[in-house]
């Protein structure tokens, strides 16, 4: 029997609509769903591989228990009940012995529900969830809540000018953002690109600034100085709605075009011209870009400076500008924050969060301050900040606690939808830490290098096998599963709930299925998951300049250019640029490592460390690449396609050389996420995880991290290239 079912792809963030053609119970063809309200029939190369992913022979189908050494690859199949029983028992034993804080979690990017995991951890009593949060979008969220009480979304549909700052959607957001930019550019939108590589976006731009990696904050402060000096700011808005403008004027005064040019490798007149261009083409949007968040030392203050630029130019919450708040009635849907059940975690347990003494802004203290300030706003207009995203333990502190038992023993860890050996920096330390856990539990689609070290591995249902509710500030859509979960795969909600039921959390998991939890969330708008699906999404209506009615969700109710929260926490209340340790400015470093290293620029069809086992994906990108300018290669006597080592002070990895004029001649651009599922696993090296893994090159030591959030660098480091 043949039929077509609506479902969705969640192999990256947008959740595009899919049509699954099913024959005799098996999906045989996938295409975009033209009726999907957001993606409207488009899917990307990764989405077209959904069927390969669903039926892939390497997929985990049953829970596994390790029988050999960690990493040796010896497993025994067991039932869900057996596996959950022993995991729960061991967690209970460890909790009794060391306290609930002995359990940690590693977080990846937004692939699954996440509120359920946070709920489990809050009820279990551990504050120690850590992961990519310190570097990916969450820092920008935390900082923007502190500056103007919410996270701003660029109104691309109506903007006159977009600044793509460290963002390359032609590779990272190919279905929604990039086509929208192309369309708007054709219609006359202006565009500035700030990127060390000549990307597809740079080629389309009116102004392209080929900046030295890691120096964006100096440029932002240079823009601020020019905008103030030339009176290009929005005087009315600044007077009525901001605090700290005069201090800002002072703080920015030293960033003259000449000084900025010397730091950034740009020409002084380009600094001036671009600042004017941004300020004079209103309304304007500065995109969020991971090129900023991944800079380490300056990352959090760059996010601050970006938010200040948006505010002083009068672009906040105007049509075509930087939108704040939720639309009506979408804002009334119960958000994750409520579902996270943060009130369940006691004050005492919160105070044990690892890393929060060093980075209080990104732990409970900072989150609580943002939460408090948010209370002045109605929640249907501005949801409170998510603890799940902006109050986390620091990865380094967690790994150190595992290895040293200090300040207390961390003996157990769960990794769900995350592959820490590939995504976190300082891979060797992560490896040693994972190996020395008493209990390591992983839930994944495949047996990754991290999973290879686990005691128990649980098989996760993929998006086409589970329902999801997808919520943004302006819409909410129901994403239905297309097939029942195959074999014994289960959705992540079932994982957390089943574990919670075994650990005394019965009364807090009243919804047997995730769909029922979604019904609960939708109740305030009078809908159910099925009802929402039937009406093909709920779309809100938004007003503009709503701060005139509500104010801003900050301690003063205004945009805090000078941050009172940062000041209270002993952090710089106004941004200032700092030269990182490892830069071409440091002659000693430069002698041995002459090239600036950036890692992780997105490429299709891979998503982080995924798709390495999908044959068709490996046909497109077979091997890990380092991109280099042809002149640099020539000087080194290296040719296209040759294997080379990329060496940083922390180690070396092997990659294939790809020559490209798009790369600045003083830098190297290394892909991230590489491991080799086709290889054997061994206790010393699961699936070749040390061979080409960019994070061998990336540090997490204190002096490399941002002092506000502890964000570590995946870019703006130094390296050299050698023949392999
Ligand atoms: N060097 C370098 N490192 C980086 C970056 C960089 O640019 N350079 N980027 C960083 C960034 S921004 C991020 S967000 C992180 C991403 O880091 P991660 O999110 O940890 O990404 P992955 O390494 O792909 O690991 C995700 C794992 O989750 C599994 N998975 C996918 N979906 C689900 C699901 O729904 N349920 C379950 N149970 N499992 C699932 C996948 O099979 C995969 O093994 O990496 C960071 N690391
Ligand atoms: N195909 C694919 N798409 C993805 C992902 C994936 O793994 N694969 N991951 C998803 C995730 S979790 C994220 S966070 C997003 C990230 O997506 P983007 O925000 O687009 O970030 P990146 O691709 O990491 O880097 C964007 C640009 O930053 C530039 N850059 C590097 N260092 C600097 C710097 O110091 N300053 C400036 N100005 N620019 C710099 C790089 O040259 C690159 O062109 O992508 C998402 N989309
Ligand atoms: S992988 Fe492609 S099809 Fe799937 S959600 Fe992302 S952009 Fe859409
Ligand atoms: Mo990310």
Convert 332-391 into a string of H (helix), E (strand) and C (coil).
Answer: HCCCHHHHHCHHHCCHHHHCCCCCCCCCHHHCHHHHHHHHHHHCCCCCCCCCCCCHHHHC
606 lines ligand 2 (CB under 6 A): yes
DSSP state of 139: H
Distance 37 CA to ligand 3 centre (A): 14
601 lines ligand 1 (CB under 6 A): no
Can you identify the CATH homologous superfamily of domain 153-323? Dimethylsulfoxide Reductase, domain 2 (3.40.228.10)
Question: How does pLDDT run across 334-347, given as a tens digit for each residue?
Answer: 877 889 999 999 99
**Coil vs helix vs strand at 45:** coil
Among the residue ranges 271-275, 337-341, 625-629, the one predicted with the least confidence is: 337-341
14 lines ligand 3 (CB under 6 A): yes
Q: pLDDT exceeding 90 applies to what percent of the chain? A: 98
DSSP state of 486: P
Place of tokens 């740079």: 202
Question: Hey, which residues does 625 pair with through a beta bridge?
Answer: 656
Sequential DSSP letters for 46-74? TGGGHHHHHT-TTS--S-EEE-SSTTS--
Buried b (16+ CB within 10 A) or exposed e, 137-160: bbbbbbbbbbbbbbbbbbbbeebb
Categorise residue 570: left if φ over 0, alpha if ψ from -120 to 50, beta otherwise: left
Region 635-655 average pLDDT: 97
CA angle 217–221–224, rounded 5-degree value: 140
609 lines ligand 2 (CB under 6 A): no
Region 549-573 average pLDDT: 98
Do the domains 587-723 and 79-137+327-418+495-510 match in fold?
Answer: no
Sequential DSSP letters for 285-346? EE---HHHHTBSTTHHHHHHHHHHHHHHTT-BTSTTSEE-SPPBTGGGSPPHHHHHTGGGS-
- Kindly identify the ligand whose nearest atom is closest to the C-alpha of 42: 3
Question: How does pLDDT run across 322-370, given as a tens digit for each residue?
Answer: 999 999 999 999 877 889 999 999 999 999 999 999 999 999 999 999 9
pLDDT at site 377: 96
Q: Give burial (CB, 10 Å; 0-12/13-18/19+) of 258.
A: exposed
Distance 293 CA to ligand 2 centre (A): 9
CATH of domain 587-723: 2.40.40.20
**Coil vs helix vs strand at 209:** strand
Task: Quote the crossing angle between the two packed helices 216-229 and 257-264, to the nearest 10°.
Answer: 160
Region 588-603 average pLDDT: 96
15 lines ligand 3 (CB under 6 A): yes
| Spatial contact of 361 and 391, defined as CB atoms under 8 Å apart | no
Q: pLDDT exceeding 70 applies to what percent of the chain? A: 100
Ligand 2: residue whose CA is nearest its atom 18: 167
Q: How far apart are alpha carbons 372 and 634 in whole angstroms?
A: 58
Region 544-564 average pLDDT: 98
**Beta-strand relationship, 475-479 and 468-471:** antiparallel
pLDDT at site 21: 97
* CA-based nearest residue to 36, from 18, 63, 54: 18
Q: What is the dihedral of CA 490, 492, 493, 498, to 10 degrees?
A: 70
pLDDT at site 1: 79
Question: How does pLDDT run across 669-712, given as a tens digit for each residue?
Answer: 999 999 999 999 999 999 999 999 999 999 999 999 999 999 99
- Kindly identify the ligand whose nearest atom is closest to the C-alpha of 111: 1
| Spatial contact of 488 and 457, defined as CB atoms under 8 Å apart | no
Q: How far apart are alpha carbons 313 and 694 in whole angstroms?
A: 38
CA angle 450–420–385, rounded 5-degree value: 140
- The yes-or-no verdict on residue 565 having pLDDT over 80 is yes
Q: What are phi and psi of 208, to 5 degrees?
A: -120, 125
Domain boundaries, the chain: 2-43, 79-137+327-418+495-510, 153-323, 587-723
pLDDT at site 221: 98
Pocket test for ligand 2, best of 289, 295, 418 (most atoms within 8 A of CB): 289
Question: How does pLDDT run across 82-108, given as a tens digit for each residue?
Answer: 999 999 999 999 999 999 999 999 999
- The yes-or-no verdict on residue 500 having pLDDT over 90 is yes
Q: Give the number of other Cβ atoms within 10 Å of residue 371's Cβ.
A: 19
| Spatial contact of 401 and 393, defined as CB atoms under 8 Å apart | no
Ligand 2: residue whose CA is nearest its atom 21: 290
* CA-based nearest residue to 594, from 699, 702, 668: 668
199 lines ligand 2 (CB under 6 A): yes
Pocket test for ligand 3, best of 16, 173, 174, 605 (most atoms within 8 A of CB): 16
Query: Which residues fall inside 5 Å of ion ligand 4, going by CB?
Result: 109, 136
- Kindly identify the ligand whose nearest atom is closest to the C-alpha of 53: 1
Ligand 1: residue whose CA is nearest its atom 28: 417
Q: List Cα–Cα distances, 546 to 90, 146, 326, 364, in angstroms.
A: 51, 18, 10, 28
pLDDT at site 552: 98
| Spatial contact of 388 and 114, defined as CB atoms under 8 Å apart | yes
Work out the pLDDT band at 628, boundaries 50, 70, 90: very high
137 lines ligand 1 (CB under 6 A): no
Q: How far apart are alpha carbons 464 and 481 in whole angstroms?
A: 5
- The yes-or-no verdict on residue 9 having pLDDT over 80 is yes
- Kindly identify the ligand whose nearest atom is closest to the C-alpha of 114: 1
* CA-based nearest residue to 153, from 386, 25, 36, 316: 316
Region 599-622 average pLDDT: 98
53 lines ligand 1 (CB under 6 A): no
Report which ligand 2 atom has the smallest distance to the Cα of 714. 32
Sheet holding 190-194, edge to edge: 207-209, 190-194, 161-165, 284-286
Q: Give the number of other Cβ atoms within 10 Å of residue 585's Cβ.
A: 14
- The yes-or-no verdict on residue 69 having pLDDT over 90 is yes
447 lines ligand 1 (CB under 6 A): no
294 lines ligand 1 (CB under 6 A): yes
Place of tokens 């998006």: 463
pLDDT at site 192: 98
CA angle 204–208–209, rounded 5-degree value: 160
pLDDT at site 222: 98
pLDDT at site 337: 84
Instruction: Report the greatest alpha carbon distance in the chain.
Output: 73
- The yes-or-no verdict on residue 458 having pLDDT over 90 is yes
Give the N- to C-terminal CA distance of the chain in Å, as an integer.
55
Give me 60's structure tokens.
Answer: 């985990």
Which class in CATH covers the domain with range 79-137+327-418+495-510? alpha beta
Report which ligand 3 atom has the smallest distance to the Cα of 11. 1
pTM recorded for the entire structure:
0.98
CA angle 677–8–178, rounded 5-degree value: 85
| Spatial contact of 419 and 450, defined as CB atoms under 8 Å apart | yes
Long-range contacts of 84-89 (CB under 8 A, 24+ apart): 84/498, 84/499, 84/502, 85/502, 86/456, 87/439, 87/441, 87/456, 87/499, 88/499, 88/502, 88/503
Question: Hey, which residues does 30 pair with through a beta bridge?
Answer: 20
Sign of the C-alpha dihedral computed for residues 98, 709, 136 and 553 taken in this order:
positive
213 lines ligand 2 (CB under 6 A): yes
Convert 567-592 into a string of H (helix), E (strand) and C (coil).
Answer: HHCCCCCCCCCCCCCCCCCCHHHHHH
Q: Give the ranges where 164-215 is alpha helix by DSSP (H).
A: 169-172, 177-186, 200-204
Sign of the C-alpha dihedral computed for residues 536, 537, 543 and 545 taken in this order:
negative
Region 62-66 average pLDDT: 98
371 lines ligand 2 (CB under 6 A): no
307 lines ligand 1 (CB under 6 A): no
Ligand 2: residue whose CA is nearest its atom 38: 166
């Amino acid at each position: 029997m043949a039929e077509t079912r609506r479902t969705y792809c969640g192999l990256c963030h947008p959740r595009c609509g899919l049509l699954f053609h099913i024959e005799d119970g098996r999906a045989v063809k996938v295409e975009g769903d033209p009726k999907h309200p957001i993606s409207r029939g488009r899917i990307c190369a990764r989405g077209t591989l959904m069927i390969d992913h669903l039926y892939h022979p390497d997929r985990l189908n049953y829970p596994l228990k390790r029988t050999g050494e960690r990493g040796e690859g010896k497993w025994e199949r067991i039932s869900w009940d057996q596996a959950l029983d022993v995991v729960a028992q061991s967690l209970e034993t460890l909790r009794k012995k060391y306290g609930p804080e002995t359990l940690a979690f590693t977080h990846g990017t937004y692939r699954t529900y996440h509120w359920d995991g946070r709920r489990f951890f809050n009820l279990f009593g551990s504050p120690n969830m850590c992961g990519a949060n310190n570097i990916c979008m969450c820092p920008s969220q935390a900082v923007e809540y502190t500056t103007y009480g919410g996270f701003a979304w660029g109104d691309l549909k109506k903007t006159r000018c977009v600044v793509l700052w460290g963002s390359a959607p032609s590779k990272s957001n190919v279905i929604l953002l990039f086509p929208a930019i192309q369309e708007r550019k054709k219609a006359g939108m202006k565009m500035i690109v700030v990127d060390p590589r000549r990307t597809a976006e740079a080629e389309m731009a009116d102004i392209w600034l080929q900046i030295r990696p890691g120096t964006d904050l100096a440029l932002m402060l240079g823009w601020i100085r020019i905008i103030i000096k030339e009176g290009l700011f929005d005087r009315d808005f600044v007077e009525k709605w901001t605090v700290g403008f005069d201090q800002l004027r002072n703080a920015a005064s030293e960033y003259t075009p000449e000084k900025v040019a010397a730091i950034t490798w740009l020409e002084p007149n380009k600094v001036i011209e671009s600042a004017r261009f941004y300020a004079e083409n209103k309304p304007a949007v500065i995109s969020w870009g991971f090129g900023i968040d991944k800079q380490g030392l300056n990352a959090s203050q760059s996010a601050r400076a970006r938010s200040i630029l948006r505010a002083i130019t009068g672009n906040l919450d105007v049509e075509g500008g930087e939108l704040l708040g939720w639309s009506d009635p979408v804002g009334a849907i119960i958000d994750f924050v409520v579902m996270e059940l943060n009130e369940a975690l006691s004050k005492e347990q919160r105070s044990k969060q690892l890393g929060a003494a060093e980075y209080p802004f990104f732990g409970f203290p900072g989150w609580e301050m943002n939460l408090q300030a948010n209370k002045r706003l109605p929640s249907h207009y501005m949801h409170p900040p998510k603890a799940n995203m902006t109050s986390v333990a620091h990865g380094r502190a967690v790994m150190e606690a595992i290895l040293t038992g200090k300040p207390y023993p961390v003996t157990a860890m769960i990794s769900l939808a995350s592959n820490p050996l590939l995504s976190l920096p300082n891979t060797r330390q992560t490896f040693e830490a994972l190996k020395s856990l008493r209990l390591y539990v992983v839930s994944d689609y495949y047996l990754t290098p991290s999973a290879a070290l686990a005691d128990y591995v649980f098989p996760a249902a993929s998006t086409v096998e589970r329902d999801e509710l997808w919520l943004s500030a302006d819409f909410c859509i129901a994403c239905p599963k297309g097939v029942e979960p195959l074999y014994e795969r289960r959705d992540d909600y079932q994982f957390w709930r089943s574990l919670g039921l075994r650990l005394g959390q019965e009364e807090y998991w009243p919804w047997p299925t995730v769909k029922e939890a979604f019904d609960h969330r939708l109740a305030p708008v009078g809908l159910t998951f099925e009802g929402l699906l039937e009406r093909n999404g709920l779309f809100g209506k938004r007003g503009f300049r709503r701060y005139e009615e509500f104010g801003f969700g900050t301690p003063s109710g205004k945009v805090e250019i000078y941050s009172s929260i940062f000041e209270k926490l002993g952090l710089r209340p106004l941004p200032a640029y700092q030269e990182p340790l490892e830069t071409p400015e440091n002659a000693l470093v430069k002698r041995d490592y002459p090239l600036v290293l950036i890692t992780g620029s997105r490429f299709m069809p891979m998503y982080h460390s995924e798709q390495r086992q999908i044959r068709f994906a490996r046909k497109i990108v077979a091997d890990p690449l380092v991109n280099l300018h042809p002149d640099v290669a020539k000087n080194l006597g290296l040719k296209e396609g040759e294997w080379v080592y990329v060496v940083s002070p922390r180690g070396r990895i092997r990659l294939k050389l790809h020559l490209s004029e798009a790369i600045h001649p003083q830098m190297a651009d290394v892909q991230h996420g590489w491991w080799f599922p086709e290889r054997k696993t061994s206790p010393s090296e699961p699936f070749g995880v040390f061979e080409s893994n960019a994070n061998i090159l990336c540090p997490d030591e204190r002096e490399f991290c941002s002092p506000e959030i502890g964000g570590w660098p995946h870019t703006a480091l130094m390296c050299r290239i050698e023949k392999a």
